[in-house]
Structure 1
Amino acid sequence: MRTFLLAIQGVLEIVIILIVGYFLSKKSWFDINTADLFAKLVLNLSLPLNMIVNLTTFFKREDLIHSAKGLIIPFLSIVTSYIIGYILALIFKTNKHRRGLLAGMFSLSNSIFIGLPMSQALFGEIATPYTLLYYMANTTIWWTIGVYGIILDTQGKIDKGIFNMETLKRIFNPPFLGFLVGVILIFSNLKIPSFIFNSFKMIGNLTTPLSLFYVSIIIYQMGFKKFNLDKDTIITFIGRFIVTPLLVIILNHFIPLPKIMRDVFVIMSAMPVMVNSAIVSRIYGGDYEFAVVMITYTTLLSIVIMPFYMVLIKII
């Protein structure tokens, strides 16, 4: 019960900030341009600095070496989940223009804008590096297999193939580069001067509130008018909140991890649908409206489900 109550408190922290952001959006303080600005600040500035600060604070060289094998579980669980999602789309006769999108939403999670604040609220700052480990696998698979599947939905083929320079640029984004800088600092045993470190920390602390304000603006902009509980919606729910987390738990029996790492991976795997799924679907002419609906409702549902997952990971 204590674990459940602590999880509720962590989730309520997230909910309060989301409510404030939603209210300010309704009052027209925030609009879609504000959301774009917040996303740009998080991805290009605050999150990379947050990565450097947290890695150099919580990790030593031996810790990083020991944690490296943990990447196997996110990669295997996400790829396996994607395959399961695509098979279910075929079995249940999902529209062929939505199959790749469905498989991507089934398997890939919102690991930054909701995942990072949620993991920090539930586990503390020590969860940040493990969150980024999951993010590395998540973003690599998204910009390769995930985007490829969405393009196949509408175009039937992709001329450049899955791996190309454009894909590499997307994978080596500022948060990932921030992670690499942190790793280099740890392995080289270099210390950042305290005044620079403290500046990085202050800017990095913007990551959680800006991320949650971004999500609240998107939820307000999307609204609640197009929700339809059809078979594809239920399949997406099953993938996000049952199949992908279960795969992490199963794989952990074969690839043992430190408990905190495993717990963060489980929570990250049960995060809502990626916001990028709607953006990429729109760019390539896919069913972006379905993606928008699933982003909204998996975000809201994940907040309700998280306390139960916290109890589950406590007892397994």
Structure 2
Amino acid sequence: MSIFENVMLPVLLIFLSGFIFQKIFNLNIKSLSTVAIYLLLPFLVFQTFYKEPLNSNFFYVILTSSLILLALILLGVIIGHVFHYKRSHLDALLLSIGFPNSGNYGVPIVMFAFGNKGILYGMPIMIFHNILMGTVGVYVATDNQGGMKTALKMILKQPMNYVIIPAILLNQYHIVIPGNFMKSINLIANTTIPIIMLILGMQLAEVPLRRINWGGVNLACFLRLVISPLIAYFLCLLLPIDQVMRAVIVIMAAMPSAANTTLYAIQFKTEPEYVSTITLISTLFSILTLTILLNLLT
């Protein structure tokens, strides 16, 4: 109940607020997603890389996160081939299963479960997931709009990818940004996650439930919440890492689909109704799956 009350309930209430708001006002969601992707996310990414130091744990984070994502993509491609998914539907599936909600959901849970040591391992995972989302995630979301060339162009157009290196350099060389500038950065960055979650709730308000392929949604949720942590667990058994780091990697791999996936699905027309439904349903199912997993690992 503590996990539900402290982490899940606030998330669900924000989703619900966006849902109700859209039902009443019926706004243009794509305009909001453009603001979130091209204005808000760069500030959040800069804040994250500027504040969070990179340490030796980052090597294992890069290795495990990359291999887990690769395994999920290969699995998704196989499933898409077997069930004859059209290209946009396959991209939507890959977007939904490949990228976990490690930021506003994963970090609080590992902090709750493992304390400061959980944060020590959880923050680098969240940082690298941001990099993967801004590169591989954008590539997958834009794949159906003209192939590799178009996808690479869209990656290069993402402003969040241009703030990572400057933020890391400022962090590593302990260069302090003047307080007035940092206040502005923090104000914008701190609004990003709530706004993204509101946009997800708004997108869900436009989903025609009768047209949803619930078999496909349930399959994606199973891959995201069950298969992903299993891949992470067996992969971690092969690496010389301690028990807490292994548990954190597995927990972060078991997170529901990232809210950012809905942003990219809306922006690049990658079946946003399907993606947003998977994000919501996987978040709801994760109450059960994460509770079981935490009991096994702690």
TM score, norm. by length of structure 1: 0.74
Separation in 1, partners of 2:89, 2:208? 24
Listed as ranges, the matches of 1:67-86 within 5 Å are: 67-86=58-77
Query: Distance in 2 between the 1:20 and 1:241 partners?
Result: 25
Percent sequence identity over matched residues? 12
Report what 2:23 is aligned to: 26
Matched residue, 1:101: 91
Provide the rounded CA distance (Å) in 1 between the counterparts of 2:179 and 2:92: 47
Q: Which residue of 2 aligns with 1:48?
A: 42
Distance 1:197 1:264 in 2: 32
Q: Compared with structure 1, are the counterparts of its residues 129 and 41 closer, same or farther at alpha carbon in structure 2 (3 Å cutoff)?
A: farther
How big is each residue's C-alpha offset from its partner over 1:38-73, in whole Å with a ceiling of 9 and x where there is no partner? Answer: x233323333222333333332xxx34541441122
| Shift of residue 146, structure 1, vs aligned partner | 6.5
2:6 alignment partner, one of 1, 4, 9? 9
Gaps of 5+ in 2: none
Are residues 1:185 and 2:174 paired? no
Mark the runs of 5 or more structure 1 residues left unpaired by the alignment: 283-287
Q: Is the 8 A contact 1:226 1:293 kept in 2?
A: no
Q: What secondary structure is seen at the aligned counterpart in 2 of 1:23?
A: helix
1:117 aligns with 2:104: yes
| Two-structure CA RMSD over aligned residues (Å) | 3.4
**Quick one: which amino acid aligns to residue 245 of structure 1?**
P
Rounded Cα–Cα distance in structure 1 between residues aligned with 2:200 and 2:218: 22
Q: CA deviation at 1:166?
A: 5.4
Q: Between Structure 1 and Structure 2, which shows a larger proportion of helix residues? A: 2
Contact 1:139/1:171, CA 8 A, preserved across alignment: no
Contact kept, 8 Å, 2:68 with 2:231, in 1: the verdict is: yes
Q: Secondary structure at the match of 1:192?
A: coil
* Superimposed CA distance per residue, residues 207-260 of structure 1 (whole angstroms, 9 cap, x where no aligned partner): 121111110111012232312334x44432332222223222222222337468
- CA shift at 1:137, angstroms? 2.3
For 2:225, the equivalent position in structure 1 comes to 241
Distance 1:211 1:298, change over 3 A: closer
Q: Is the 8 A contact 1:46 1:205 kept in 2?
A: no
Equivalent residue number for residue 302 of structure 1? 283
Aligned length: 284
Question: Which of 125, 130, 134 is equivalent to 1:135?
Answer: 130
Would the alpha carbon gap of residues 187 and 16 (structure 1) be closer, same or farther in structure 2, given more than 3 Å must change?
same
Which deviations, in whole Å up to 9, do the C-alpha atoms of 1:102-158 show, x marking residues without a partner?
65246423x5xx65332355357965653231132244334446754x47xxx9xx5
> 2:7 touches 2:109 (CA, 8 Å); kept in 1?
yes
Contact 1:17-1:209 within 8 A present in 2 as well:
yes
Residue aligning to 1:285: none
- Measure, in 2, the Cα distance between the counterparts of 1:221 and 1:116: 25
Distance 1:315 1:13, change over 3 A: same
Query: Contact 1:21 / 1:216 at 8 angstroms: preserved in 2?
Result: yes
Structure 1 Cα separation of the partners of residues 140 and 38 of structure 2 = 24
Cα distance change of structure 1 residues 46 and 165 upon mapping to structure 2, 3 Å threshold: same
**3-state SS in 1 of match to 2:84:** coil
Distance 2:283 2:186 in 1: 28
